[in-house]
Amino acid sequence: MTNRNREHAARILEKADEIRALADRGRFRSDPTAVERIHLRAIFIAESADHLSRGFKDENPALWTTVRNFRTAVLHTYETIDPEDLWRFIRDDLPRVVSVLRRARFRSDNRSQRTV
């Protein structure tokens, strides 16, 4: 019994796992292709989060604000994202996003129950 929110959350979690696998701090600093691959996955997370329902966003305002702010930065910098901004998202924000999505209980009507 999947719904739109559950599907987008699963995609976000999948990309978050891929980012964690790529995000070794030493490699991140020294390998531009790792930064680029992480950047692309972060864009995917931002776009998928944008497709979560208004109800889910309203019920999880801190999560949505974090992702929305990051989405704005990622989508409007194109290939020139500051690697330090990307690293801060990976280190500070992505774990919170993952935590909220893993705890979320999604209803079949595309609304979630608050997880906090």
In order along its 116 residues, the chain shows pLDDT tens digits of 238 889 999 999 999 999 998 887 677 778 888 888 888 898 899 889 889 988 888 888 888 888 888 877 777 665 577 788 888 888 998 998 999 888 887 655 444 444 44
- Residue partners of 111: CB distance under 8 A and separation at least 6: 5, 53, 55, 56, 59
Q: How many whole angstroms separate alpha carbon 113 and alpha carbon 52?
A: 13
pTM above 0.75, yes or no: yes
Nearest C-alpha neighbor of 67 from the set 12, 4, 7, 3: 12
